[in-house]
Amino acid sequence: MHERPDCGDALPDIALETPEGAALRPSDFRGRKLVLFFYPKDDTPGCTTENLDFSALAPEFEKCGAALLGISKDPPTRHCKFIAKHGLAAPLASDRPADGLADALGIWIEKSMYGRQYMGMERTTYLVDAAGRIARVWRKVKVKGHAAEVLEAARAL
């Protein structure tokens, strides 16, 4: 496995897909701060809470000049349903099934549940500066209080 990009490194510029089917790249946000929160799966309890928490704070992120983007490998159609069901304000994007941004960041990993091995997303958040460099990384995120902690870091950047 390759070295995981960390603080000070440039964020890989790999295209994602919006729920509407358009291409979106991290470089599209150059010139402003960017918060990328990677989560395992739409409409599961922890992921729903995380998305609702970031959505609730979306106006505050906007105020401090930080764009928000939630990312999973769910297809765009599933993101549309998830957004509609929960009234999410934080924008979402779909990562490629293979060789996507999560793969390049080393957070698409082998997981195990009930003795079954599978590939899944390690819940991770990146705060990226206006130049496209990683300013802060939260790995193996615990959802409770996380969005507020990221907001404080975004304000301080």
- Please confirm, yes or no, whether 80 is among the known catalytic residues: no
Specify if 50 maps to a domain.
Answer: yes
- Selecting among 7, 47, 64, 80, the annotated active-site residue is 47
Question: Residue 78: what pLDDT?
Answer: 98
Specify if 6 maps to a domain.
Answer: no
Specify if 1 maps to a domain.
Answer: no
pTM: 0.96
| Tens of pLDDT, residues 42-93 | 999 999 999 999 999 999 999 999 999 999 999 999 999 999 999 999 999 9
For residues 135-150, average pLDDT? 98
- Binned at pLDDT 50, 70 and 90, residue 1 comes out as very low
Specify if 117 maps to a domain.
Answer: yes
CATH number of the domain at 46, please: 3.40.30.10
Domains of the chain: total? 1
Specify if 5 maps to a domain.
Answer: no
Report the candidate in 18, 49, 25, 21 with the shortest Cα–Cα distance to residue 128. 25
Specify if 40 maps to a domain.
Answer: yes
Specify if 3 maps to a domain.
Answer: no
Task: Name the phi and psi angles at 34, rounded to 5.
Answer: -140, 130
Domain that holds residue 151: 16-156
Burial 14-37 (b: 16+ CB within 10 A, else e): bbbbbbeeeebebeebeeebbbbb
Question: Residue 19: what pLDDT?
Answer: 97
Specify if 74 maps to a domain.
Answer: yes
